[in-house]
Every structure is written in C-alpha cells, then in structure tokens.
Amino acid sequence: MARPVDDVIRLCCQISAHHQIKVTVKNSTKGAMVAGGTAFVGGLLGGPAGIAVGGTVGGLLGSWLTSGQFKPLPQVLMELPPIQQKTLYDYVVAILGKLDWKDAAQLIALVMGNATLKQQVTAALLNYITKELKAEVCYQD
C-alpha cells in the first residue's frame, strides 16, 4: 500500500500540536552579516581595537536579532520544501514499520491510540527537527 508523504506530515503536525511544540530555526546568515558588518565598521573607525569591539557588539546584536523567533511546529512542517518533507517521512516510516493505513485520519488514530508508537514517532520528529533543521525546540506551557 502506498504511504503518502502528506499523511505522515499531517500525523507529525497532529503530534506537535498535541504537545504544543514550537521551534526556531536559527538564521545564522543574518547574525553573521550583522557581526561582520559591525566588525568592519569598527575596524574602519578604530583600527584593530575597533575590530574587536565591533565584532563583540555585532556578535551580541546578531545573536539578539536571531533568537526567540519561535513558530508552531505544525506551521514549520507545512512550509517545508518537498525534499525535506520526504526526509521527515523517511524518519517516521522507519518507526511505523509495516503499519498499514488508508488515509491520514486512520494513521493519526492508530498512532495516537498507541502510547509507545506515539512516543517513538515524537522522538523521531524531534530528532529530525534538531538534526536536519538545526532548530531549537520549545514546549508551550
């Protein structure tokens, strides 16, 4: 039986919504540009000492600008490009094994009704988020 990627993505969205998981994907390019730019300006204005001061200030500013931008995980999953959705699918299907389902609703019911399977899929999802997307995970209280 075919296992549509969309069914698995919907399952992951359901699990992440149930646990109220939020993530932030660090925008390292933006932070690096700020840090490098301020180090450059510091170097122009203050020479070698200015580079050190500009780099420090820019690093702190870049870190502040790119931190704390949490999004609900279901939103992040739905915005993933197809290749990344397929990678997530591969992570989860490795856990599901030979489990058969006819649609996303049935898959969600099967997994959510089995505490062990639900925990394993959640672990695979979090593993994917932290390793593949290099994202920080936060649980909403």
> Once rounded to an integer, what is the mean pLDDT over residues 59-69?
66
Locate the domains of the chain by residue range: 1-26+69-141, 27-66
Instruction: State both tokens at 80.
Output: 């993933």
The string of pLDDT tens digits covering residues 86-110 is: 999 999 999 998 888 999 999 999 9
The pLDDT confidence band at residue 2, using thresholds 50, 70 and 90, is very low
Taking residue 130's Cβ as centre, other Cβ atoms within 10 Å add up to 13
Q: Is the pTM of this model over 0.85?
A: no
Non-local (6+) Cβ contacts of 30 within 8 A are 62, 65, 66
Taking the C-alpha atoms of residue 110 and residue 131, their distance in angstroms, rounded to an integer, is: 26
